[in-house]
Structure 1
Amino acid sequence: MDLIVEILTTMGAQLQKPTLAFLIGGMMLAALGSKLEVPEPVYKFVVMLLLLKVGIGAGISVREADLVSLAVPALAAAIVGIAIVLLGARTLVRLRGVSPMDGMATAGLFGAVSASTLAASMAVLDGEGIVYEGFIGALYPFMDIAALVTAIVLAKLSAQRKTAASVQGGTLTMGGGRSGTSGGFDGGLIKSILVDTFRSSAISALLLGLALGVFARPEAVYESFYEPLFRGLLSILMLVMGMEAWSRLSEMRKVARAYVLYGLTAPIIHGLLGFGAGLVAHHLTGFSAGGVVLLSVMAASSSDISGPPTMRGALPEANPSAYVGTSTGLGTPVAILSIPLFMALADFFIGF
């Protein structure tokens, strides 16, 4: 009972804070038919600055971090990303009205990470004075890439099995083998996925920030430019995401109801997986309670920047209304609104 009261109290308090308030405000404006619009170049510029800020801060901390303290959460992040995709393959993909290709694309986005949600959760913890490891931003690529690669590979394998099954009773090739693509799995597929993912705008900006933080000495520009602008830029991003989330809800009419159920429940379930992994890292290396919260939010989030273009390129057969609509329209707001939940859980089980 004490845990429930603490969760409700934390959620009520955080809904009044700028990060979540701007998200809800954006959704309300869109629901009321407001014509307010943030130009796309401005949105991309804000996202780039936020990712550079997260990356530089993580890089500075990585430079001073203990290898084991970093390696354990990084491994946990990758495992959680893969586990989320495998869970989606066992649940969403098997629901009525969900095609294997669309289901795996959706599971891939939910296994990957939302940079904006991660930035929002950092801002919430900073506002509460909750300490977390500075290298948290370095965990982003581990979960993001592991999930995207797993989802795309599983989708491709499923498509190959389907092709093989359709050919099995049909025409044979001159050499006695079956025609089609039922041969060996394309060994270059994973390499191409990795290349495309690393070249995406989100990962590129984050990795650039990491490299600058590790190999350069960017503390002066970080403290004088990126840090002071962080909260203001994040409020604009939350406003845009709120409006975008509401507009994406209309796309949900084009897909099966299973996506609605998944979009509403998966962030919480995935976040709990991340919370469990964070607890393990806490007991093994002393991973902080704030770090556990951020790992949980990363797991609860769904990719809104790097994931969609990666899926469009790797799985052109998948329906964007399914995976983007579910991710942006439902997954993102649920994940952001769940930040107080994981804060309360971390406070209850570990303590700030």
Structure 2
Amino acid sequence: MTDIIIQNLLSPVVLFFALGILAAMVKSDLKFPTALSETLSIYLLIAIGIKGGIELSHYSLSTVIKPILGTLFLGTFIPIIVLFILRFMKMDFKNAIGLAATYGSVSIVTYGAAISFLSEFGTKYEGFMNVLVVLLESPAIFVSLLLLKLNEENQGHSLSQNIGFTAGKPMVSGLINTKVIKESLFGKSVLLLLGSLVIGWIAGEGALPAVKPLFIDLYPSVLMIFLLNMGVIAGQRLPEVKKHGWKILLFAIFMPVLSGILGIFVGNYIGLSLGGTTLMGVLAGSASYIAAPAALRTSVPEANPSIYLGLSLGITFPFNLIFGIPLYYSIAQWLQ
């Protein structure tokens, strides 16, 4: 496993990310224009989606139903685990909900880096894995906000104060407002991923000549530029994270490993290949810094962005990029 970590550390993807962190730490004037950063993000979302759609055209529904159910299970169960852990750590409920949504959702860039990692090792994976990225974006957000609303409905019950809901209490209408639904289902990341995936699925193999030069051949190079920018942003977030104490820092490392291992076991149980099982671990172990924060800003304004965004981007993202992906790969190898 040490060799895998070293090889990952020396990959251009990780080195460009490290260069970005260094630039932030030495207060360099390196800065990406907002328009360029947005363009790179849109490119990655389309590239992953359309490639997944083309691959999905090769599979029947009976082949993908188990992976879909496994993904929905992870998106529902992980935020509940996160909420239990953080409430045990005595974190206030609103910030705990923010982290539950963030760590239950997925980082598209971590997933992209994992694909590059598998390519370096020549490890194949199921093409429909890109579909699961889209599926894992929203469930954790809905579950987390549902627990928040149920907790608000049951403020007087001791059980609700501990875990966020009361058994046997009927659900009320309006638990999640339309603005949250819009952010979760029609926000930039989900819309581009799902839309390009459907386009790739409809076009099938016939789309390859048109999309391969831009969205497949150039993908690794564009990812390096994007991660340079992410390194700068992550380096700027690190001072904010330190303010919240060492326990929350440990959470940002412990939680992705726990979720990643759970994802690996789910992937192995449903019969995925080594590459697919690794990617399932990466999906479960990553934390969102796009879709979840966008929904949280709308529905839980009391949650502190420097906590959920600082941890996901400043700690968990670099941890997964450097150590997490090789770790999930090694555990998946051991299981198979």
TM-score, normalised relative to structure 1: 0.87
Deviation string for 1:214-271 (max 9, x for gaps)?
Answer: 1234322221211122011100111112221121111124435432121121111111
Identity %: 27
Q: Within 5 Å, give how 1:127-206 maps onto structure 2.
A: 127-162=120-155, 164=156, 185-187=172-174, 189=176, 193-206=180-193
Structure with higher Rg: it is 1
Q: Any conservation in 2 of the 1:60–1:214 contact (CA below 8 Å)?
A: yes
**2:177 & 2:59 partners in 1: Cα distance?**
30
Select which of 290, 299, 305 maps to 1:314: 299
**1:187 & 1:218 partners in 2: Cα distance?**
42
Counterpart in the other structure of 2:70? 76
Counterpart in the other structure of 2:327? 341
What's the offset of the Cα at 1:184?
5.8
Structure 2 residue identity aligned to 1:148: I
* 1:115 maps onto 2:90 in alignment: no
What's the offset of the Cα at 1:165?
6.4
**2:170 & 2:198 partners in 1: Cα distance?**
40
Counterpart in the other structure of 1:330? 315
Counterpart in the other structure of 2:279? 294
Counterpart in the other structure of 2:255? 266
What's the offset of the Cα at 1:191?
5.9
Structure 2 residue identity aligned to 1:40: T
Q: Within 5 Å, give how 1:70-109 maps onto structure 2.
A: 70-96=64-90, 98-109=91-102
Structure 1 unaligned regions, length at least 5: 1-6, 167-181
Select which of 203, 206, 220 maps to 2:209: 220
**2:58 & 2:19 partners in 1: Cα distance?**
39
Counterpart in the other structure of 1:3? none
Residues 243 and 73 of structure 1: CA distance in aligned 2, closer, same or farther (over 3 Å):
same
Counterpart in the other structure of 1:176? none
Q: Following superposition, which runs of at least 4 residues in structure 1 exceed 6 angstroms of deviation?
A: none
Q: Any conservation in 2 of the 1:92–1:258 contact (CA below 8 Å)?
A: no
Structure 2 residue identity aligned to 1:45: T
Deviation string for 1:27-55 (max 9, x for gaps)?
Answer: 22222222211112111111111110110
What's the offset of the Cα at 1:161?
2.4
What's the offset of the Cα at 1:192?
5.0
TM-score, normalised relative to structure 2: 0.91
Select which of 43, 47, 57 maps to 1:53: 47
Deviation string for 1:66-108 (max 9, x for gaps)?
Answer: 3222111111111112221011111013313x21110111121
**Cα RMSD (Å) of the superposition?**
2.0
Q: Any conservation in 2 of the 1:30–1:247 contact (CA below 8 Å)?
A: yes
